[in-house]
Structure 1
Amino acid sequence: MLLASVTVDRAFVVGPVRRRTFGSFVEHLGRCVYTGLHDPGHPTADADGFRGDVVDLVRELGVSTVRYPGGNFVSGYRWEDGIGPRAQRPARLDLAWHSTEPNTVGVDEFVRWARKAGVEPMMAVNLGTRGIQEALDLLEYCNIRGGTAWSDRRRANGAEEPHDIRMWCLGNELDGPWQTGHKTAHEYGRLAAETARAMRQIQPDLELVACGSSGSGMPTFGEWERVVLTETYDVVDLVSAHAYYCEEDGDLASFLASAVDMDHFIDAVVATADAVRAARKATRRIHVSFDEWNVWYAGRAESRPPTGDDWPVAPTLLEDRYNVADAVVAGSLLISLLRHTDRVHAASLAQLVNVIAPIMTEPGGRSWRQTTFHPFALTARHAAGEVLLTAIDAPVHDTTRFGPVPAVDAVATYEPSTGDLVLFAVNRSVSRPVALTLHPRGFPRLRVVEALTLSNPDHTWSATPDDATSVLPHPNPSATADDDTVRVDLPPVSWTMLRLRLP
């Protein structure tokens, strides 16, 4: 058994736990919207056609914000197609995913769904094929009370009160050659800056997100952020970051260390933003919206869109079935996001239903939780108050992709109002358990409230509609606490939540 320790001190605070860290993402892609959120023939469907079983699962998952309607989809989207009487809405080709978009669900339906699910909508505007005027029209439609052409159109469509959407993404991944309306950094930076300025003429207090590069492996990464933020620094609040991870060529050790890459990614974006701040002699800081992150096996057949003359509605796309190792990595990525809570002010797990998602559905039938559902739900439920600085002392092992990495990663949160100290930890070792000792300074006489571990001797186990409960986070009886030390054993390839409480 490997030995490791984590030290936390009540006085060393990274920043607050931000509820927007636990956001998600809904795109008109595959079956995310149609037969995922919206399935009028389902036994649990409400008057708007939304599945009640999915709404219940979204609430259980603890999602705070949902980014909509994309994603790659938004760069060719005409939002006006999705409002008004459904019988009059046009069907359009979606170039992003080689599909047909029926526009049955649009902005009004999405906002109604968000209210049902108890989540904050986060809207993206199309800066691929469209621009400033279309963004202003959508903002007017959503947020102006009445007395104008677009706000009165919303009221006529049944939404008397404004949607009051506060967070807006200025396009999506526009450095990507796959993106409809792909742009250079200078082209996008100018368009985003002018769009932001115009939107603020309507509502100065909006929270606006500029597109960062679509991935840290892109040749544009770094310089894209510098150029875009040089143009937009005074008119945006956040810059986006996107990252997906998967097990490549059976290299489980590297996959389990994916959060090392996320840490480096966040640090690089923050450093670039702060360099622009210094050059501009600015006082305010630009923070990070990590509004796409997940495990995604993009090379698998299920991620290949239709081709040729086949333009189906809601095809089966990106429906990865996640195993235990995938869930451990998803939990570790949440640890990274919380560790950077001083600069990561929002994040979105991509996506929410069916498409690389924690929630799966059958059309007209069952819904179930994937393995990745559980670390997200437990972290969203129990991470509260403040994120504490963690000092980790753990054995190091070599990985092919990321070099030497510690066997253990962890983050701790403390909620003063309840006295709860919560440790989230992963054992990245492929084969060896870890005896972990927690040294909590400034927390006398802690007691163990709950210890849950997600692991399985077969890390490839995946949930199915017939068996979604054989492998769940289970009580970890090894957790003990005395006056100044807490101990818990971590199985190999595992994620653990340890809840402790002051007297």
Structure 2
Amino acid sequence: MRAKATLNREYTISSVDKRVYGSFLEHMGRAVYTGIYEPGHENADKDGFRTDVLDMVRDLDMPIVRYPGGNFVSAYRWEDGIGPREERPVRLDLAWRTRETNQVGVNEFADWAKLAGTEMMLAMNLGSRGLDDARNFLEYCNHPGGTYWSDLRSKHGYKEPHNVRIWCLGNEMDGPWQVGHKSAAEYGHLANEVSKAFKYFDKTLETVVCGSSNDKMKTYPEWEATVLEASYDSVDYISLHKYFGNEEQDTLNYYAKAIELDRYIVTIGGVIDYIKAKKRSKRDVKICFDEWNVWYHDRKEDGERIASWDWPEAPPLLEELYNLEDAIFVGSLLNVFIRRSDRVKIACMAQLVNVIAPILTKAGGPAWRQSIYYPLQYASKYGRGTALTVAQSGPTYDCEVAQDVPYLDLSAVLHEDGKSIAVFAINRSLDEPLGLTVDLQGFKGAKIVEHQMLAGDDLKARNSVEDQNRIVPKSGKELTMDDTGTLVGSLPPRSYHFVLLSVASA
């Protein structure tokens, strides 16, 4: 098999917003407690944050993290997580049937975000609460001082405002499972009013209105049209969520599900354009894909456990153990976000630690990287700049999800200095190498600076606390530059590749 791709310096898609490589922390399972925060751990700092986890997060160059939910936020009182810890109430979390101690709240998250070098994206409760609670939350976080809520923040030891720039207007409000679930019409009206109020406070703030919690919802995509009809003039993004799995144990069909993500983005892009035209608006609303990941390995069992347990505190939950197969697929999802960078400006892998996460920890023990950590790391570090249009041809296959699925999945980003290109390539074939030719038009003096790959014979192989480096990137030697400045070589079956090329500036 052989595939060809062409990249041209003049044919570009869009600037890639660095926030497309974000993540998410919810008060769920062990994401927070014994995840990022574990006082008494040998690696904990003076504030109880695990420095081994912080090191791994910093190595991801994580640009933004959404907090504190998720389903958790729809019944959350943000006031419970401020002030002296000994005075904070313990509450029942209805979303995951657990007890929340509130030992970590918005101020602690702000401290952690600074240590991690990431931007805060806060979600507000528009399920069981409303406009007044939201604007009080904003005043507490962002106003310099001289008012009740800002002075209370100062009293709690945070004189300087947190200056949070982006706010999520609730979470998955289309879902009947959500505490405070609303119809599209009533939610759209409420979200619009909250967004307007936030921009009365500061017109430079960005707000994210809830779109569909997945593309299989009965209300999709009518939900988006109704919500945007009510809120288009005040919001900046519409959120989308989607999780993926290989329940059928059909790897080629699993890999093709990246096409479902692409369809989802294209469809909602069309809804946005429709509402924009209907309103004769000059504004552009973009997509914030603030929950995405692989989630299926123990999903059914976790649901049964949640229904049966008696309000435990930070129990293990949704601790997916990812394998090589999942890492290659995650690389494909990231390629979609790069190729759709004109629409998707923010995306958050859900979640960051322990809960369907690239990082796992053992309470009182070590932290380690899962297989999916690596494609996210390479995309975050090197996938910033301008997405290049990829023209490609090559062999395809048919499956349940789609027909004519290309074995080659490739995206490319020209860095801001114009002197280097990051190429992310996948061979979806399970048994055949894929010959590859990448024609670099308008780029001179191309050289391979780095080539890393994830590949192996066992797609089910994964990292564990006992064997933390079973799935790690290895240097690739399968690609070279020929005399014409063309990237040539062969991609092994079942493989993900990151290739960094240096090129002469234009």
Q: TM-score range by the shorter chain?
A: over 0.9
Match of 2:100 in 1: 101
CA contact (8 A) 2:167 2:208 kept: yes
Q: 1:365–1:59: structure 2 CA closer, same or farther, 3 Å change rule?
A: same
Q: Deviations over 1:114-168 (max 9, x none)?
A: 0000000000000000000000000000000001111011000011100000000
Output the amino acid matched with 2:7: V
Output the amino acid matched with 2:237: L
Q: CA deviation at 1:303?
A: 4.9
Match of 1:500 in 2: 501
Which segment drifts farther, 291-300 or 159-168? 291-300
SS of residue in 2 equivalent to 1:306: helix
SS of residue in 2 equivalent to 1:116: helix
Q: How does 1:274-293 map to 2 (within 5 A)?
A: 274-293=273-292
CA contact (8 A) 1:97 1:305 kept: no
Output the amino acid matched with 1:502: V
Work out the CA distance in 2 between the residues paired with 1:199 and 1:374.
Answer: 37
Match of 1:311 in 2: 311
Q: CA deviation at 1:440?
A: 0.8
Query: What is the aligned length?
Result: 502
Output the amino acid matched with 1:284: R
SS of residue in 2 equivalent to 1:317: coil
Q: CA deviation at 1:61?
A: 1.5
SS of residue in 1 equivalent to 2:10: strand
Match of 2:164 in 1: 165
Work out the CA distance in 2 between the residues paired with 1:354 and 1:175.
Answer: 26
CA contact (8 A) 1:392 1:409 kept: no
Work out the CA distance in 2 between the residues paired with 1:385 and 1:226.
Answer: 31
Moved beyond 3 Å, runs of 4+: 302-305
Q: CA deviation at 1:430?
A: 2.1
Work out the CA distance in 2 between the residues paired with 1:303 and 1:17.
Answer: 36
Q: CA deviation at 1:194?
A: 0.9
Work out the CA distance in 1 between the residues paired with 2:179 and 2:464.
Answer: 35
Q: CA deviation at 1:185?
A: 0.3
Output the amino acid matched with 1:350: A
Work out the CA distance in 2 between the residues paired with 1:376 and 1:105.
Answer: 26
5+ residue gaps, structure 2, are: none
Match of 1:153 in 2: 152
Match of 1:229 in 2: 228
Question: Does 1:340 pair with 2:377?
Answer: no
CA contact (8 A) 2:69 2:171 kept: yes
Q: CA deviation at 1:404?
A: 2.8
Match of 1:76 in 2: 75
CA contact (8 A) 1:319 1:354 kept: yes
Output the amino acid matched with 1:429: S
Q: CA deviation at 1:476?
A: 1.4
CA contact (8 A) 1:98 1:305 kept: no
Work out the CA distance in 2 between the residues paired with 1:459 and 1:344.
Answer: 30
SS of residue in 2 equivalent to 1:422: strand
Q: CA deviation at 1:309?
A: 6.1
Q: Deviations over 1:237-284 (max 9, x none)?
A: 000011110112211111111211111000011100110000000011
Match of 1:254 in 2: 253
Which segment drifts farther, 413-422 or 310-319? 413-422
Which segment drifts farther, 129-138 or 409-418? 409-418
CA contact (8 A) 1:210 1:238 kept: yes
Work out the CA distance in 2 between the residues paired with 1:418 and 1:193.
Answer: 40
Work out the CA distance in 2 between the residues paired with 1:21 and 1:416.
Answer: 16
CA contact (8 A) 2:462 2:470 kept: no
Output the amino acid matched with 1:137: N
What percentage of residue pairs aligned between the two structures are identical? 45
Match of 2:394 in 1: 394
5+ residue gaps, structure 1, are: none
Question: Does 1:216 pair with 2:215?
Answer: yes
Which segment drifts farther, 294-303 or 353-362? 294-303
SS of residue in 2 equivalent to 1:292: strand
Q: CA deviation at 1:391?
A: 0.7
CA contact (8 A) 2:244 2:293 kept: yes
Work out the CA distance in 2 between the residues paired with 1:405 and 1:276.
Answer: 31
Work out the CA distance in 2 between the residues paired with 1:432 and 1:469.
Answer: 26
Q: CA deviation at 1:105?
A: 0.3
Q: Deviations over 1:25-65 (max 9, x none)?
A: 00000000000010001111111111000010000112110
Question: Does 1:191 pair with 2:190?
Answer: yes
Match of 2:421 in 1: 421
CA contact (8 A) 1:29 1:314 kept: yes
Q: How does 1:83-98 map to 2 (within 5 A)?
A: 83-98=82-97
Output the amino acid matched with 1:90: P
Q: 1:154–1:36: structure 2 CA closer, same or farther, 3 Å change rule?
A: same
Q: Deviations over 1:440-494 (max 9, x none)?
A: 1011221111111111100100100111213211111111102231113212221
Question: Does 1:487 pair with 2:484?
Answer: no
Output the amino acid matched with 2:476: N
Output the amino acid matched with 2:330: A
Match of 2:408 in 1: 408
Output the amino acid matched with 2:356: I
Match of 2:351 in 1: 351
Q: Deviations over 1:288-346 (max 9, x none)?
A: 00100110116342354433561001011000000001001111101000111111111
CA contact (8 A) 1:441 1:484 kept: no
Work out the CA distance in 1 between the residues paired with 2:496 and 2:477.
Answer: 15
Which segment drifts farther, 293-302 or 356-365? 293-302
SS of residue in 2 equivalent to 1:435: strand
Work out the CA distance in 1 between the residues paired with 2:92 and 2:436.
Answer: 54
Output the amino acid matched with 1:467: D
Work out the CA distance in 2 between the residues paired with 1:306 and 1:389.
Answer: 45
Work out the CA distance in 1 between the residues paired with 2:90 and 2:116.
Answer: 27
Q: Deviations over 1:84-130 (max 9, x none)?
A: 01111000000000100000000000011000000000000000000
Q: CA deviation at 1:77?
A: 0.3
Work out the CA distance in 2 between the residues paired with 1:262 and 1:303.
Answer: 24
